[in-house]
Amino acid sequence: MALEGRIEDVDLLSKDIHAHMYEFYDRLHDERPVYKMPTTGIYMLTRYDDVRAALGNPEVFSNAVPFGPLQGKRAQIYLDELAKEGWPRLMVLQATDRPEHERYRKHLDRVFNAKRVQELALRIQEVADFAVDQFIDRGECEFIKDFTIPFPSIVVSEQLGFDSTEIEMFKAWSDNLALLNRGIMTDDEMRAAAKVEAEMQHHIMRIAKDRRKNPRNDFVSRLLEEDPDNAPLTDAEFLSVMAVLVAGGYGTVTNAMANALYLLLTHPDQMAKMRANPDLIRNFVEEALRVETSVLHILRITKRDVEIRGTAIPKGSFVSMRFSAANHDANKFPCPHMFDVERPGASAHLSFGSGPHICPGRVLARQEMASGFSTILRRMSRIEFGRPLDDPPFEPSFNHRTLKELPIRFTKA
């Protein structure tokens, strides 16, 4: 079995261990809550209290992680090609510390806030119904392809200035931006990916030129608005911020919604509770985000030597804030592997991070999930798997919890 033997020899990058991820977290919590990965040298924090404390302490755990850490120094090939074809990629938002981070965050918080998401609620609902309309009469669909990709893609791409006919292009660019963090790339692959990002940059600059002349009620127009209390973004800064928004615009919500339906399908008693009490929708969203955390971790780098639970972590070390392990810490969440839509305190999860770098899009993501599942449960009954899934059903990944597929069949309500 993948978990047998010394814990020092267990490789979290292996496909086998990914199939037993939560069992491995149990071992780490008990035996090695601060775990040094044998193949990468990355230190991993797995206890809830440790992860939360580190996220709130950027003076020790810096966010200034180099670009493309999996590629090492060769990531410069990508940056050089991008600067030649378009604009330089700058480290912004989650890759910066104070005071730079505060400046970028002020710009973004004018765009992603509760008031703006509330204004968008009706449009989000319209898009959810539109997505369901495309397959509801068939009585079956591939839920990821037919709903969890188009629904958040349309919502976010519209707000970032893309036309409704450009959804596939938006998705392709988002997927391209994720390549650097999925695995080791060849030099030619990095150059090709940089050229695709440069194409995206030129397209976004055309959008920006239009919005400066003809502002609309969307995110990109607000991001370009002058703020008397904050220095304006340069073109390179604006494009780098937009790259972050495009990269995270649909992928994380796509995974989160697919994982949430998977949980309901594998726990029919919990789906019955949802149907009996629609007011549980918000707590269901939080519990689904906790149990099947879509973004498994984020990296930090230590600015000085630090010791946690007796483990010395040298200055300059990469440290993985393992959200998914923290969300399954029994010291914080009793019976942590149990999915309970009525769980008290489910919203205390760390799936959006914590501290000054908490995810700026969390309010929008929660609204998309709540509106999406309210629509699904209202318009579809007797939802079940369309066919048996692979075992395990998730893609092996160090970074994301991604279902390979989710075919379903249902009765039109």
Express each pLDDT in 292-351 by its tens digit: 999 999 999 999 999 999 999 999 999 999 999 999 999 999 999 999 999 999 999 999
Q: Is the Cα torsion angle 219, 224, 226, 229 positive or negative in sign?
A: positive
Helix (H, G, I), strand (E, B) or coil at 394: strand
pLDDT of 102 over the 70 cut = yes
Q: How confident is the model at residue 3 (pLDDT cuts 50, 70, 90)?
A: low
Distance, CA of 178 to CA of 70 (rounded, Å): 12
Across 181-185, 193-197, 222-226, 321-325, least confident range = 181-185
Closest CA to 69 of 323, 401, 398, 396: 398
Query: What is the pLDDT, as a whole number, of residue 1?
Result: 45
Q: Which domains does the chain have, with CATH numbers?
A: 7-412 (1.10.630.10)
> Mean pLDDT across the stretch 48-72?
94
Burial group, residue 314, by CB count within 10 angstroms (0-12, 13-18, 19+): exposed
- Tell me how far apart the alpha carbons of residues 289 and 397 are, in angstroms, rounded to a whole number: 17
pLDDT number for residue 111: 85
For the chain, percent of residues with pLDDT exceeding 90:
80
Average pLDDT, the chain: 93
The yes-or-no verdict on residue 164 having pLDDT over 80 is no
Residue type, 117: V
Q: Report the side by side order of strands in the sheet with 380-385.
A: 140-142, 407-412, 380-385
What pLDDT, on a 0 to 100 scale, did the predictor assign at position 40? 84
Going by C-alpha positions, the residue among 86, 104, 85, 106 that lies closest to residue 95 is 104
What is the pTM (predicted TM-score) of this model? Answer: 0.93
**Across 41-46, average pLDDT:** 95
- Pick from 200, 170, 180, 169: nearest CA to 79: 180
